[in-house]
């Protein structure tokens, strides 16, 4: 079994964050864009564990903050929390081809929404209505549909440790 290199995961995540905020901006449904970086982070945190998940989550969030319109630290905090929580699943969750990626995607999106809501209450009360819109349901649906494909694609590129995660 080969040793995982967190640097490779971090580079892939940062490139995805860059592409998401530049090339993929036209990909949207009802002005809601899928968060490919979030879905990759969930997969990578599950592969690497909590410490590496937090580090690459923070770096990807920092990239998203610098490229987007959010205040500095907004995505960094959210992605660090996601990296930690999904890093806890390493070695504990059996990842199949469909069910777990969908559950992970829905859970990550809901955690992102709840964290965004808390941050908005504390620091951005004027943006609170954008956190609690119908677009949230569209984004949950998009992530649930995209997650199995992204997880399968990452598996094809051999970015998973089948022995540790028991991925089918």
pLDDT tens digit sequence for 94-142: 888 899 999 999 999 999 999 988 988 888 777 777 777 888 899 999 9
Return the pLDDT at 68.
86
Tell me what the mean pLDDT of segment 59-70 comes to: 90
How many domains, in total, are found in the chain? 1
What torsion, rounded to 10 degrees, do the Cα atoms 155, 167, 80, 115 define? 110
Within-domain flag for 89: yes
Supply the CATH number for residue 28's domain: 1.10.1760.20
* Residue for token pair 């609690």: 132
Within-domain flag for 1: no
Within-domain flag for 106: yes
Within-domain flag for 148: yes
What is the percent of the chain where pLDDT is above 90? 55
Residue 51 has pLDDT above 90, yes or no: yes
Within-domain flag for 121: yes
Q: Global pTM?
A: 0.89
Q: What is the residue range of 34's domain?
A: 6-162
Within-domain flag for 143: yes
Within-domain flag for 167: no
Bridge partners (DSSP) listed for residue 32 = 29
Q: Which residues of 4-27 are buried (b: 16+ CB within 10 A; e: fewer)?
A: bebeebbebbbebbbebbeeeeee
Within-domain flag for 168: no
């Amino acid at each position: 079994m080969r040793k995982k290199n967190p640097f490779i995961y971090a580079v892939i995540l940062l490139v995805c964050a860059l592409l998401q905020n530049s090339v993929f901006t036209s990909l949207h449904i009802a002005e809601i864009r899928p968060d490919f970086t979030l879905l990759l982070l969930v997969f990578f945190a599950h592969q690497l564990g909590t410490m590496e998940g937090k580090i690459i989550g923070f770096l990807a969030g920092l990239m998203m903050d610098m490229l987007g319109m959010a205040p500095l630290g907004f995505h960094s905090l959210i992605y660090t929390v996601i990296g930690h929580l999904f890093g806890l699943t390493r070695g504990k969750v059996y990842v199949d081809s469909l069910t777990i990626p969908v559950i992970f995607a829905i859970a990550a999106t809901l955690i992102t929404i709840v964290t965004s809501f808390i941050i908005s209450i504390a620091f951005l009360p004027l943006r609170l209505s954008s956190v609690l819109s119908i677009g949230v349901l569209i984004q949950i649906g998009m992530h649930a549909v995209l997650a199995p494909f992204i997880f399968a694609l990452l598996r094809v590129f051999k970015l998973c440790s089948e022995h540790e995660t028991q991925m089918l």
